[in-house]
Structure 1
């Protein structure tokens, strides 16, 4: 598609995982649109593609109901300003990347004013607050779906959608080279390597880091040749975790990286917070234990509305339990360390079976997502 006039695209990503999706989409759209400009909210990756960002992702990122309430006035002000700015620009299209409670309202208001809208990443309507799909249907022209288990509910409610797979499944090799990556990281083959991912937001790290660190100490008592790697994508998160990790005697290597999956490829086992990291770990073919905790008020309010038995993406995609999950009270150092030691004791057949499942799930979402997403969006842009 060759365009003469400038094409103006609005985008809002509310957290790190959205920044990953956003930068790939921008690169793909630039292949087809030679005179295109991007505006809105993004992270360092999207900024690297010359997107004009009016706010930082950190200003939007929140976790749990109490955090949302505390930050609500600021979020309302930002959303109001974004609507005003986007309308002044007379966008060709707006793409909300995940962050549904913020973006769907934004999309609804823009669509009412005649702007075409796309929502990239389905909200978890298959898990709870199913009625959101009706509001989403009014707010957007199409929804880009990452996972096959999401398709039935969109078909049932007759919401325009496109299943595109996941960009990480395209980026991460089906057969990652563990030996090569360990060599690059300087990890001896005599070491047992544990990857620890305590979260991509400050609130997650505050909630889980101490239990993760205690778990590391328990593991170190049983594994004398343990090497612990903690990949984090933002300096603020690194500073916070380094400060917390000084309380334990075990040496922990905290790495500043945008490619956490490479650390997971190098690892023998992984301990991580529920979220996109569980998908990366599955794609890296690394056995994992998944932990999740939120504040008690949020958990109490939400638990009775959850309609699915799992929280981690590998289990959701597989539609069965293939990785262990520990939630709230069950998420404690003793349980986590026992589960990780059990993974280390897997025999060859057990390990091969788990990795074969990971491989099959990887194939199911490896669909050239950036190109599929760009193609769907181009259909709604008037040349």
Structure 2
């Protein structure tokens, strides 16, 4: 732990956009409790804007899949080696892994063994697959901050220190969002039915899903020519990938492309403007839940990763879409790998548009929203400060 005569250093390591958002909010909450603290680590633009010195960009850790990571290993190992050396040299008051679980939980033991308090903010889906990892996690970190309510009881049952803090997204998203206001904000016609299409945030993920999502748009356009589509893309690269897929699905005609509005970012507004959402599995499915729109969820991995997950039975959870996991039952349809194709996704989207139980679904989504709305960043900061106080008292005694 940092000496008392030093300005306390808090190191945070985040990967990709969602971790960057969580990290920025956590920094703001910690700064209220420890005004003199300074922050550094692997950070995205939001964390940097919140005052975190970026030793490396968060995007550098954004790799998905068991085997898809292999081409990136030399770069990741270099980042890992440099980070371990720097953290051990600077001895921060606490090390906080913000998501980026595979990366953070492999290096956290180095810091915990050196006497640096370690925290993992966002639990791995250890309850879903490779459950034996829970003991490894307990040895790696002093505290796990859980975003989902069923995670803490799982850790408690294995004697791993964990706290449920709620989900920051639930704090940010209003309980009700008007489709008309969202459409007005996006500058699109207020009348008509819209399908939001979100193929993901990672380049690999967007590359895998874009052809089938674009083909689904073409299928839906053929069945319901009056439908309009809006798509949120996270970067210039993902936009180019999706545009190329749309051009191929359109077969060189302008009619289909004219029905699709592409938006840079603003995923939440795009969801709110829609009547139903087609999206990649991940945090976006929770966001669609909080915005309270019916959805169709798709998940596609590389073939070798998929083969091992299926044949080694590594995945234990009954669902992968967040609303289904939180409800403990299938609220919305979810499709994996070979099922991710236009003739499956298209009819599923139509069924979501025409759901007779839409009001009941929205009410269930609202109940989930209320459960997760706990002022998560403040609770996470309080839990970290409490850990530091207990550690200080333990050292003093």
Check the 8 A contact 1:196/1:230 in 2, yes or no.
yes
State the alpha-carbon separation in 2 of the partners of residues 99 and 129 from structure 1. Answer: 17
- Residue 150 of structure 1 corresponds to 151
Aligned partner (choices 367, 373, 376) of residue 374 of structure 2: 367
- Residue 356 of structure 1 corresponds to 363
- Residue 298 of structure 1 corresponds to 305
Moved more, 14-23 or 314-323: 14-23
Q: CA deviation at 1:142?
A: 0.6
State the alpha-carbon separation in 1 of the partners of residues 33 and 152 from structure 2. Answer: 27
- Residue 262 of structure 2 corresponds to 254
How many aligned positions are there? 378
Q: Deviations over 1:57-116 (max 9, x none)?
A: 232111112211222222122111101111222211000012222101211111111111
Check the 8 A contact 1:5/1:35 in 2, yes or no.
no
Does structure 1 residue 321 correspond to structure 2 residue 327? no
- Residue 41 of structure 1 corresponds to 42
- Residue 214 of structure 2 corresponds to 213
Does structure 1 residue 84 correspond to structure 2 residue 85? yes
Q: Which runs of 5+ in 1 are unaligned?
A: none
Q: CA deviation at 1:40?
A: 1.1
Check the 8 A contact 2:17/2:59 in 1, yes or no.
no
State the alpha-carbon separation in 2 of the partners of residues 244 and 41 from structure 1. Answer: 33
Check the 8 A contact 1:193/1:269 in 2, yes or no.
yes
State the alpha-carbon separation in 2 of the partners of residues 224 and 4 from structure 1. Answer: 69
State the alpha-carbon separation in 1 of the partners of residues 153 and 30 from structure 2. Answer: 28
Q: CA deviation at 1:217?
A: 0.6
- Residue 95 of structure 1 corresponds to 96
Q: CA deviation at 1:305?
A: 1.5
- Residue 271 of structure 1 corresponds to 278
Check the 8 A contact 1:96/1:120 in 2, yes or no.
yes
Check the 8 A contact 2:178/2:272 in 1, yes or no.
yes
What root-mean-square deviation, in Å, do the aligned CA atoms of Structure 1 and Structure 2 show? Answer: 1.6
1:356 to 1:4, Cα distance in 2 relative to 1, 3 A: farther
- TM alignment of 1:157-172, pairs within 5 A: 157-172=158-173
Q: CA deviation at 1:4?
A: 8.0
Does structure 1 residue 222 correspond to structure 2 residue 223? yes
Q: Which runs of 5+ in 2 are unaligned?
A: 393-397
Aligned partner (choices 308, 313, 319) of residue 310 of structure 1: 319
- Residue 187 of structure 2 corresponds to 186
Does structure 1 residue 125 correspond to structure 2 residue 126? yes
- Residue 395 of structure 2 corresponds to none
Partner SS for 1:125: coil
Q: CA deviation at 1:253?
A: 2.0
Q: CA deviation at 1:5?
A: 4.4
State the alpha-carbon separation in 2 of the partners of residues 255 and 7 from structure 1. Answer: 41
Check the 8 A contact 1:270/1:289 in 2, yes or no.
yes
Moved more, 283-292 or 10-19: 10-19
Check the 8 A contact 2:198/2:231 in 1, yes or no.
yes
Moved more, 240-249 or 24-33: 240-249
Q: Deviations over 1:203-240 (max 9, x none)?
A: 10111100000000111112223222111232332233
State the alpha-carbon separation in 2 of the partners of residues 17 and 71 from structure 1. Answer: 20
- Residue 110 of structure 2 corresponds to 109
Check the 8 A contact 2:285/2:322 in 1, yes or no.
yes
Q: CA deviation at 1:368?
A: 0.5
Partner SS for 2:107: helix
Moved more, 96-105 or 230-239: 230-239
Q: Deviations over 1:269-313 (max 9, x none)?
A: 100010000000000001100001111110111121111121111
1:210 to 1:30, Cα distance in 2 relative to 1, 3 A: same
TM-score of the superposed pair, with normalisation by structure 2: 0.92
TM-score of the superposed pair, with normalisation by structure 1: 0.95
- Residue 290 of structure 2 corresponds to 283
Q: CA deviation at 1:149?
A: 1.4
Moved more, 54-63 or 233-242: 233-242
Check the 8 A contact 1:93/1:380 in 2, yes or no.
no
Check the 8 A contact 1:12/1:95 in 2, yes or no.
yes
State the alpha-carbon separation in 2 of the partners of residues 8 and 245 from structure 1. Answer: 47
